[in-house]
Amino acid sequence: MDSAVDGVTDPRSKRDLEEGIQRDFTRKMSYGDYLRLDTLLSAQQPLSDPPQHDELLFIIQHQTSELWLKLLIHELRSARTLLMSDDLGPALKRLARVKHIQHTLTDQWSVLATLTPSEYAEIRPFLAASSGFQSAQYREVEFLLGNKNADMVAVFSHDEGARIALDALLREPSLYDEFLAYLGRRGYAVPAEVLDRDWSQPYRLSEGLVDVFADVYARPNEHWGVYETCEELVDVEDNFQQWRFRHLQVVQRTIGQKTGTGGSTGVDFLRRALDLTFFPELYEVRTRVGA
């Protein structure tokens, strides 16, 4: 159907601006000003020569991931601080948001998966030695969740700000450490060696703590806040593992068994990460439930 008949415009084909809508931003802050879009949208600088169509996809995929990681760090730090002050409810709200961010990060891999091996081969030489392995924010997330590795700090010796931030997180309690401290303050029999340890060292499973969680899972209605927090943490780890696995799949379909641009073994290196766990007792206790 034509939108205009005998010079009359169909009202469904046009929406007039309302009188109150702002039009002049010479002296007012606009949407673009607030979000600093001039800076944000000028940060995509492909290096391929001659230019390759798919490099913009590769850049935007990783830049948006870094933005979500920034928010993830913000929420995890806040949840940790709230646990330190025994504010469990708001901490759980932060973790709920963390889980949504994780889903978004995982779903993004589907966009990058549209990049075929032939297309990626055209842009790979221009990446040089750069690799997602070198994401300081990703390491901050892992440190906040408890996967501490002092060797990773040295990778960022070229970036003083990143090195200082990671070194600080290495020596601070993780989110899980603060949850266990919260349990200790609430009268749960958390083993002393779990509460008083070297935070820079990787966390190790405590059988005594499994006993504590076994009691929580045996009587969830009596420990509902703690029980809920345990399950929220398991959700966070499960989401993280899904992100790791999706990453592995996309790398495998794109480069096969090639060495990664950063020097790792690629797929094999990523596969070994699937064996890592942040909250070992929360998985170990599942063997006890109903046994």
- Which residues define the annotated binding site for heme? 247
User: How far from the centroid of its chain's Cα atoms is residue 123's Cα?
Assistant: 26
Backbone angles phi, psi at 133, to 5 degrees: -55, -25
Backbone angles phi, psi at 8, to 5 degrees: -100, 125
Measured CA to CA, the distance from residue 167 to residue 171 in angstroms comes to: 7
- Residue 83: partners with Cβ closer than 8 Å, 6 or more residues away: 91, 175, 178, 179, 181, 182
Known binding-site positions for substrate: 58-62, 120, 124, 261
Is the four-CA dihedral 154, 157, 163, 164 of positive or negative sign?
Answer: positive
* CB neighbours of residue 199 within 10 Å: 15
In this structure, what is the dihedral angle of CA atoms 140, 142, 145, 148, given to the nearest 10 degrees? -100
Q: How many residues does the chain have?
A: 291
- Residue 30: partners with Cβ closer than 8 Å, 6 or more residues away: none
Is the four-CA dihedral 226, 137, 275, 60 of positive or negative sign?
Answer: positive
Q: Fill in the amino acid letter for 104.
A: T
CA distances from 212 to 180, 284, 288 (A): 11, 12, 11
Quote the strand ranges of the chain, DSSP E.
Answer: 4-5, 8-9
Measured CA to CA, the distance from residue 51 to residue 118 in angstroms comes to: 15
Known binding-site positions: 58-62, 120, 124, 247, 261
